[in-house]
Structure 1
Amino acid sequence: MKVAMIAPIAWRTPPRHYGPWELVTSLLTEALVAKGVAVTLFATRDSQTAGKLDGVVPRGYEEDRSLDAKVWEYRHLSHTFSRAREFDLIHNQADFPAHAFAPLIDTPMVTTIHGFSSERILPMYKPFEDRVHYVAISEADRHPDLRYAATIHHGIRLDEFAFDPVGSEDLLFFGRMHPDKGAHHAIAVAQATGRRLHLYGIVQDAGYFEREVKPHCDGETIVYHGPVGGAERVRALGAAKALLHLIDFDEPFGLSVIEAMACGTPVIAIDRGSMAELIDDGTTGFLVGEPGAAVEAIAGVGAIDRTACRSAVEARFSVETMAENYLALYRRILAA
């Protein structure tokens, strides 16, 4: 089976620190290659893969602001689709612009929808549902008016996330500095409980960060570390009492949630979007209705078995499970 994997080009694949779509694309690509699938990864030219790398974009446009995102996205897609007939299947991880090319080729096509962000994007999905096989990353993120081929949860490489059986007494926030992700809620909860809070993530909304986050960061009780990757990321995910995921939007998945649980850290999350699909309430964390309820939930975190958090990820969110589910979908499509 020959598969063309289209990566987003905001960041390198895999990303150096932030880049969740690029990360999932890389994880799936490498797992498929390990299973003997001939994957060509169409990504930025500085990307890394055990498969075959092809591309025309020199670097991610978020890493080199001299690059015009729209110009290079369409150059990227044009190059990929010019080679469509060489592959049995094209797997698009790069959002809806690729659908513009779908009627021009005969090669079967899959699109993983990394979050159905708005009704406004439906016109670039609905007209192509007879041509493109859509994959939702959670049941919660399915749009009621769109036909899907499957729901496939993300998976991670368990060997990259060391289990921490102890953690610490500190709280953790991991995500974009944006109102949706709720860093301000995490700060309020930490202050109410008298616990130290470590915040990690890129600043996506500078105004929000300056107003709601930075004034509270004293380097002692509320500590902002910026984006983080590699061994430091794993250490941070495991060295916590709990991850606070007090979101203000319907989270389509939440990679940091399963990464934290893989390291043994329970998660306290607002029960919106996919959270009930990832967290077993009372077993791997707590689902709460509003941020204030997280204060009480923290008092119960000590009763959570950190081993149970790790075991839940091993059973349901491994990269092997994700790859097998995608392979099964590919085979169904090609058989038809």
Structure 2
Amino acid sequence: MNIAMLSPVAWRTPPRHYGPWENVASLLTEGLVSRGHDVTLFATADSITSGRLHAVCPSGYEENRSLIPKVWECLHISELFENADTYDIIHNHFDFLPLTYTSMTTTPVVTTIHGFSSPGILPVYKKYNGKGFYVSISNADRSPELDYINTIHHGIDLQQFDFQPTPKDSLLFFGRIHQDKGTREALEIARVCGKKLILAGIIQDQAYYDRYVAPYVDNDKVVYVGSVGPVERNRLLGNALALLHPIRFDEPFGLSVIEAMACGTPVIAFDRGSMPELIENGTNGFLVDHVAEAVERVAQIKTIDRAGCRQHAERHFSVDSMIDAYLQVYETILTDRQP
């Protein structure tokens, strides 16, 4: 099968540290190549792949602020669609913008909807509903106004995550520093529990960080380590007593949740969005409704079997299971197109 994989160009593929959409595009590309498929990755020129790399954008515009995002997004997407007829399938990880190019080709376009940044983007998805094929990343993130060919949960390369049976006594927040992710609530949970909190992730809202986070970072009870790469991510997740995920929005998926489980680390998350699809309450973590309940669950965290957390990730969120599901989608589409 000849596949074009369209990755975003905000970050390198795979990302050096942050870049969840680029990460999924990379895992899928490498897995498909390893199974003998011909995959062309459309990504930044500094991207790394065992497939073919097709690039016009020199680097991620979040990593090189001299690049104007819209200019390079247009050049990047148009480059694929001007060559679209050479592929059997186009797999779009670039949100809604590439849909506006789909009339340029008869090649089927699969779009993984990695989440809705705003209800305001729905008109584009609605216009092209039925003309392409939409995949949701959780059942919770489906719009009733759209049709989907499948829900496929993200998978991770389990070999990148070492099982750690004996953690330290600190808690971890791993994600964007933003009110949606509940950084402020994680600080409150750790403070009431009297436990050290390590914060890791990009600062997406500087004003929020300055007001609600920075005053508490003392490099003792609260440590901010910034955005980290794969090696440090593995260490932080494995050493944590628990991952705190007190989200204040309906999380479409939550890669850090399954990455923590892969290290054996249970997750305490607010019960919103996709969390019930990832966490079996009381088995590999706890689903809670507010800070006070999260504090209670921290006290009970040692009742969770860390080996069971790892096994849950292996059973449900491996990269192989994700690839199997996408291949089934591709094959269904191509079979239905045959005369």
TM range (shorter): over 0.9
Partners of 1:284 and 1:329 in 2: CA distance: 30
Q: Write the letter of the residue equivalent to 2:247.
A: I
CA drift of 1:119 comes to 1.8
Which moves more between the two structures, 122-131 or 105-114? 122-131
- Count of residues in correspondence between the two structures: 336
Q: How does 1:87-236 map to 2 (within 5 A)?
A: 87-236=87-236
Deviation by residue 1:33-56 (Cα, 9 ceiling, x = unmatched): 111111000000000001000010
Q: Distance in 1 between matches of 2:5 and 2:43?
A: 8
Q: CA deviation at 1:130?
A: 1.7
Q: What CA deviation, in whole Å up to 9, does each residue of 1:83-115 have, x standing for no partner?
A: 101000100001111011011210000000001
Specify the alignment match of 1:75 in structure 2: 75
Q: CA deviation at 1:290?
A: 1.3
| Partner SS for 1:199 | strand
Question: Aligned letter for 1:87?
Answer: Y
Amino acid of the residue matched to residue 210 of structure 2? E
In 2, Cα distance between equivalents of 1:308 and 1:41: 35
The CA RMSD measured in Å over matched residues stands at 0.6
Q: Kindly state the Cα deviation for residue 231 of structure 1 after the two structures are TM-superposed.
A: 1.4
For 1:260, the equivalent position in structure 2 comes to 260
- Match of 1:107, SS state, is coil
Q: How far apart, in 2, do the equivalents of 1:311 and 1:136 lie? A: 24
Unaligned ranges ≥5, structure 1: none
Q: Does residue 47 in structure 1 map to residue 47 in structure 2?
A: yes
TM (normalized to structure 2)?
A: 0.98
Q: Give 1:314 shift.
A: 0.1
Gaps of 5+ in 2: none
CA contact (8 A) 1:116 1:143 kept: no
SS at match of 2:291: coil
Aligned twin of 1:61: 61
Alignment deviations for residues 282-316 of structure 1 (CA, whole Å, 9 cap, x no partner): 00000001122100010110110000000000000
**In the alignment, is the contact (CA less than 8 A) between 1:116 and 1:142 conserved in 2?**
no
Runs of 4+, deviation exceeding 3 Å: none
TM-score, length basis structure 1: 0.99
Contact 1:103–1:131 (CA under 8 A) maintained in structure 2: no
Separation in structure 2 between the aligned mates of residue 206 and residue 243 of structure 1, nearest angstrom: 23
**Mean Cα deviation higher: 324-333 or 100-109:** 100-109
Q: How many Å apart are 1:230 and its aligned residue?
A: 2.3
- How does 1:294-333 map onto structure 2 within 5 Å? 294-333=294-333
Deviation at 1:118, TM superposition (A): 2.3
Tell me the SS of whatever aligns to 2:94: coil
